[in-house]
Amino acid sequence: MLASGKYLDRTRKHGPMKLVGDVQGVPAPDFTLPSLDGRRVKLSDFRGKAVLLNFWATWCPPCKVEMPWFEDLQKQYADDGLVVLGVAMDDSEPATIAKFASDLGVNYQVLLGTDKVSDDYGDVQYLPTTFYIARDGTIVDKMTGLLDRKEIENAVKKTLNTTYKPASSPLNQADASVKEAVAAKATSAKDANR
Amino acid sequence: MRRVGVLSGTLLLLAGLVLAQGFGDKPPVEMAPVGNVQVKAGGSKNVSLDFRIGSEFHINSHTPKSPLLIPTVLKLNGPEQVTVADLKYPAGQDVSFPFSPDEKLSVYSGDFTVDAVVKTAANVPPGTYPVSGTLRFQACDHSACYPPRSIPVQFQVTVVK
């Protein structure tokens, strides 16, 4: 289990080592992905909601432990503004993914992930990985590996309670990528250390 | 003493980096070198391919318990003069993990060996022939999983009269 933090990661397509991690306070990259029921789902359409964005796969046994918890949390906190989105990083057929989710009692929206979305979110390799996104589209937390339910619920509460940032905030730029923002942070940290 | 402290700190930092970046460029499975496989023209020879899995990882066996889990598969391609056949995978260990204590998964951990038979036709000229391929696997640790990955598998077959 990894807590979020700064670490070196080699992005799959871009070759050189990049500093990623520490994505708290960074705008969540927007995306449009197909859902299992054939719709196109855009992340920024959920602006105003707190989003639990969970990357998972059918070949990932720890992922299926969390998914019923996410379903319960979605029901419990829906009225407070929580939306759960699952992103399946899977080569299986959509029908197989749908059956897998259904067998776990999942009713929240499951989207079919792409390499681009994985790259945009810092090359999501370690599953499960979950991003907690505040109502203004800012990443509140990133958690990787299976956590216990209490930690997940605490992260949900923290995300729901994260203060909405004013529109003039530089962090409120929905289409800035995590990598760009993190790179800018890394540069300023480097300068500060000189 | 101070140097020991600095060294310990450096090692801890490096360990933290390795942990945090997962297995990065180093795959969780490595293949042991295979000695030269010598076989008479027209004959056959058993060859054992030894693999080592990093201590914190396990991978699915060749026969996982669910069709959704990705099996470990060795694929080998020799030149037309050499045939590699009769792959024999070890049985998986049935193990429960903390993330799913009620479910047993069929996995490999530690070291495992895949046996194969190298065969040549009687008319194959003496010489050295490379065999190459891949081992595909999908690794997890105690709390998370990595996408399927392949590592190269290579050895040489020397055909003698």
A144 belongs to a structural domain: yes
Q: What is the pLDDT of residue B25?
A: 60
Instruction: Give the pLDDT of chain B (161 residues) as one tens digit per residue.
Output: 344 343 333 333 333 333 334 445 677 999 999 988 999 999 999 999 999 999 999 999 999 999 999 999 999 988 899 999 999 999 999 999 888 888 899 999 999 999 999 999 999 999 999 999 999 999 999 899 999 999 999 999 999 98
Nearest CA in chain B to A59: B69
Q: Is B56 part of a structural domain of the chain?
A: yes
Among residues B42, B47, B36, B37, the alpha carbon closest in space to that of B125 is found at: B42
Q: Is residue A139 scored above 80 in pLDDT?
A: yes
Tell me how many residue pairs between chain A and chain B have CB atoms under 8 A apart. Answer: 72
**Statement: residue A35 has pLDDT above 50:** yes
CATH number at residue A110: 3.40.30.10
- Asked if residue B7 belongs to a domain, the reply is no
Distance, CA of B7 to CA of B15 (rounded, Å): 12
Range of the domain at B34: 24-160
Q: Which domain holds residue A111?
A: 7-193
SS3 B33: coil
Query: Percentage of chain A surpassing pLDDT 70?
Result: 73
- The ipTM is 0.79
Partners of B143 on chain A (C-beta within 8 Å) are: 1, 62, 145-146
Q: Is residue A1 part of a domain?
A: no
Tell me what the mean pLDDT of segment A3-31 comes to: 53
pLDDT for residue A27: 92
pLDDT in tens, A147-175: 999 999 999 999 999 976 544 444 444 44
Q: Which of A9, A10, A62 sits opposite B99 (nearest CB)?
A: A62
Is A10–B138 a contact, with Cβ atoms under 8 angstroms apart? no
Chain B residues in contact with A10 by the CB 8 A cut-off are 21, 24-25
How many domains are contained in chain B? 1
Please state, rounded to an integer, the average pLDDT across all residues of chain A: 81
On whether any CB of chain A is under 8 Å from the CB of B30, the answer is no
CATH number, residue B105: 2.60.40.10
Q: CA of A168 to nearest chain B CA: how many angstroms apart?
A: 34
Q: Is residue B136 part of a domain?
A: yes
